[in-house]
Structure 1
Amino acid sequence: MKIDDLQAYVDAWNKHDIDEIMSFMSTDCIYETGGGTEVHGTRYSGHETVKSRFMSVLETMPDVRFDNAKHFVKGNRGCSEWVFSATKPDGTKIALEGCDLFTFHKGKIKVKSTFMKHRH
């Protein structure tokens, strides 16, 4: 994976194109959310399970965007920083800084671990 690939991945999210989003993920991918009851957040494993979770995000927050993205890649690791914005199902607008830490395998995203700031 290269920086241009990570930007294309963010662009796929901003287009809400689930098939394009998933084309970047390995078949045995893992997605770790920014929150949850476990130390790593909530973990989703496997292509179809991760796809279902991503679809849920797109369906519940249909205007979700990742803007001001900055990326770096070093070997089989990478990071994307962004500003996440969306409208929650209750109509509340949110905007948060965050990042994804990636582990790559054979040119695909094997692990996506999300971190987000929380506003109080």
Structure 2
Amino acid sequence: MTVERLARFGDAWRRKDLDALMEFMTEDCVFHASVGAEPGTTFRGSDEVRRGFALMMAFDEGYESRPGGTAFITGDQGATQWSYVHTDESGVVHEVRGCDLFTFEGDRIRVKDAYRKVDADITAPAAL
């Protein structure tokens, strides 16, 4: 994996392109979502990870993804920072900041473990 390739994964996430995202993942991939009951619901295998990605995108609907942030890779591990912003109906801007920790297998992602900071309490939908 390279930082440039990992940036392309982030671009696909911002476009909400599930097909492109899954091309980056291994067949036995794991996604630890940043919200959910565990805390953070875990999805295992490509079909479930795809479903988990779709659920997270729906959860963050209405938030604008900001490109950029720090990214680094060392060996088969890596991390990225990200943020979303949303202006509510009263004009208050809400920001969500987070990071993803990755485990790579060659040039593909085996594990995506997401963490987030929020400016208010959030409740995960029942599906997560």
TM-score by length of 2: 0.78
Structure 2 counterpart of 1:56: 55
Deviations 1:88-114, CA, capped at 9 Å, x for gaps = 9xxx97421110000001321101000
Q: Who is 2:104 aligned against?
A: 104
SS in 1 for 2:26: strand
Structure 2: gaps (5+ residues): 121-128
CA distance in 2, matches of 1:46, 1:86: 31
Q: Which moved more, 1:10-19 or 1:57-66?
A: 57-66
Q: Post-superposition shift, 1:16?
A: 1.7
Structure 1 pair 106–68 and aligned structure 2 pair: CA distance change class (3 A)? closer
What SS class does the counterpart of residue 68 from structure 1 fall into? coil
Partner Cα separation in structure 1 for residue 29 and residue 87 of structure 2: 27
Q: TM-score, normalised to structure 1's length?
A: 0.82
Letter in structure 1 aligned against 2:2: K
Is the aligned partner of 1:20 residue 2:17?
A: no
Unaligned runs of 5+ in 1: none
- Contact 1:30-1:112 within 8 A present in 2 as well: yes
Distance 1:93 1:48, change over 3 A: farther
Cα-Cα RMSD: 2.3
Q: Aligned pair in 2 of structure 1 residues 2, 34: CA closer, same or farther (>3 Å)?
A: same
Aligned residue type for 1:15? R
Percent identity (aligned)? 30
Q: Which residue of 1 aligns with 2:43?
A: 44
The answer to whether the 8 Å contact 1:64/1:87 transfers is: no
Q: Is contact 2:102-2:113 (8 Å) kept?
A: yes
